[in-house]
């Protein structure tokens, strides 16, 4: 008789279920507070990094001849506050950031916030398209592989996913571009829209959404058409990765007692898989999907370059090579904020999927 097994709660008496609404709200507030703190930390890191970068912004921006002119250098430093002590520079900076002022790009001579409002949505739109595509295809194939474990569909899909994660993105991009766009002309290859169309009025920065909001259907379809090829290329890797994780996660869940119990209830296998297996498996899958989304954001540079996609990757590259400090810091902060937002979303999804998380 094994009565020594640890158990939660007092035997014989059910604990009272807590009010789900209040608990969920507290969970949300806790997560938001943590996210905000993290954002402040990121401004500090971004700021410190720019302080550590060798190279003088004055020299980089004014040119070698002007550096010899102390008056010009002093004027430049005074204009951008570079003559102040470092902590003051940081406080000024963070104050500005919280007012939505990310400084003026020393390269485009426009406010960084304006630049980013244009470039960031382009990348997010692309990454979102790619991650949704990857989730749908990757999870579906992962489930198929898991329920057919070690039979031919599993073997075939193993090769497919290995191929997906092994092929370098730049190579996939070039081949896809050459075949699907240039050779057979199935999909538009470059840019966000047909050159004859003008962008829809700015609301979200996502052309597909903005066009739909404005009722410009031709613009919307063109925007979606232009998203397909680059997001397919981006999705090749993430589909392979999500397929492997989904397969592993589903296999792990399949071994649980509650799956056997679900089968013992005589439920159709489809219901067992979707309701009893996929739901707990999604906890691990969305964790990976969140990380994958982050890598899509930062990994899009190559794809953006090849498909002439005016995204934040290209902007970051230009800022970095020109030592455009406000640009670099702006990109860092916004990309980090998006990353944090995604993680917050993943955390919230945990709470939606697994009631034990919102109840603890």
Partner 1 sequence: MGTLLEVEDLTVWLATRNGPRKAVDGLSFRVDSGEVFGIAGESGSGKTMTAMALLGLLPHAARTGGRAVFEGRDLLAMKPRELRDVRGRSIAMVSQDPSTSLHPMLSIETQVTEHMRHHLGIGRSEARGRAVELLSTVRIPDPERALGAHPAQFSGGMRQRIAIAVALACEPRLLLADEPTTALDVTVQAGILRLLDRLRRERDLAVVVITHDLGVMSAVADRICVMYGGRTAEVGPRETVLTHPRHPYTRGLLDALPHPEGGAAALRPIPGSPPSLGAVPDGCPFHPRCAFAVDSCRVDRPEPVLIGSDHRLACPPDPLGESA
Residues that bind partner 1 (CB under 8 A): 1-3, 5, 7-18, 20, 256-258, 260-268, 271, 275-276, 279-280, 353-356, 359
Choice between 34 and 254, CB closer to partner 1: 254
Contact 286, 240 (CB under 8 A): no
Quote the tokens at residue 9. Answer: 């709660």
Bridge partner residues of 104 (DSSP): 111
CB of 313 to partner 1, least distance (A): 38
Choice between 67 and 284, CB closer to partner 1: 284
CB of 349 to partner 1, least distance (A): 13
Detail the DSSP E strand segments found in 135-227: none
Spatial neighbors of 274 by CB under 8 A, at least 6 apart, are none
Short-list 283, 295, 342, 293, CA closest to 31: 342
Choice between 7 and 183, CB closer to partner 1: 7
Return the sign of the alpha-carbon dihedral for residues 130, 133, 135, 138: negative
Query: 204-234 burial string, b = 16+ CB within 10 Å, else e?
Result: ebbbbbbbbeeebeebbebbbebbebbbbbb
CB of 256 to partner 1, least distance (A): 7
Quote the tokens at residue 144. Answer: 């198929």
Q: Classify 255 as helix, strand or coil.
A: coil
Cα 96 from Cα 89, distance rounded (Å): 11
Choice between 14 and 70, CB closer to partner 1: 14
Choice between 226 and 276, CB closer to partner 1: 276
Radius of gyration of the chain (CA): 25
Contact 342, 293 (CB under 8 A): yes
Choice between 3 and 166, CB closer to partner 1: 3
Choice between 1 and 52, CB closer to partner 1: 1
CB of 6 to partner 1, least distance (A): 10
CB of 24 to partner 1, least distance (A): 13
Burial class (CB in 10 A: 0-12, 13-18, 19+), 56: middle
């Amino acid at each position: 008789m094994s009565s020594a097994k640890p158990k939660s709660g007092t035997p014989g008496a059910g604990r009272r279920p807590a009010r789900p609404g209040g608990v969920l709200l507290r969970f949300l507030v806790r997560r938001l507070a943590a996210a905000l703190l993290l954002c402040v930390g990121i401004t500090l890191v971004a700021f410190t990094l720019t302080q550590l970068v060798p190279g003088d912004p004055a020299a980089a921006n004014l040119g070698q001849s002007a550096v010899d002119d102390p008056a010009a250098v002093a004027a430049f430093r005074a204009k951008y506050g570079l003559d102040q002590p470092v902590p003051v520079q940081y406080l000024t900076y963070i104050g500005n950031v919280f007012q939505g002022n990310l400084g003026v790009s020393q390269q485009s001579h426009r406010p960084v916030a304006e630049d980013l409002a244009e470039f960031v949505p382009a990348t997010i739109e692309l990454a979102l398209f790619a991650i949704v595509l990857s989730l749908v295809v990757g999870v579906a194939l992962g489930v198929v592989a898991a329920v057919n474990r070690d039979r031919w569909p599993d073997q075939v899909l193993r090769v497919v996913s290995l191929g997906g994660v092994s092929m370098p993105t730049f190579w996939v991009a070039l081949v896809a571009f050459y075949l699907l766009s240039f050779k057979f002309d199935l999909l538009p290859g470059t840019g966000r829209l047909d050159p004859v169309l003008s962008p829809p009025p700015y609301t979200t920065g996502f052309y597909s959404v903005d066009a739909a909001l404005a009722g410009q259907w031709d613009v919307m379809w063109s925007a979606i058409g232009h998203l397909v090829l680059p997001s397919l290329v981006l999705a090749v890797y993430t589909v392979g990765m999500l397929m492997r994780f989904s397969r592993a996660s589903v296999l792990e869940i399949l071994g649980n007692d509650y799956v056997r119990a679900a089968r013992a209830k005589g439920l159709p296998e489809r219901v067992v898989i979707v309701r009893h297996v996929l739901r707990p498996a999604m906890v691990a899958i969305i964790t990976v999907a969140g990380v994958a989304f982050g890598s899509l954001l930062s990994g899009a540079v190559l794809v953006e370059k090849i498909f002439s996609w005016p995204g934040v990757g290209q902007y970051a590259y230009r800022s970095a090579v020109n030592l455009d400090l406000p640009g670099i810091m702006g990109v860092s902060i916004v990309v980090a904020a998006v990353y944090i937002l995604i993680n917050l979303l993943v955390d919230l999804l945990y709470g939606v999927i697994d009631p034990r998380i919102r109840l603890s």
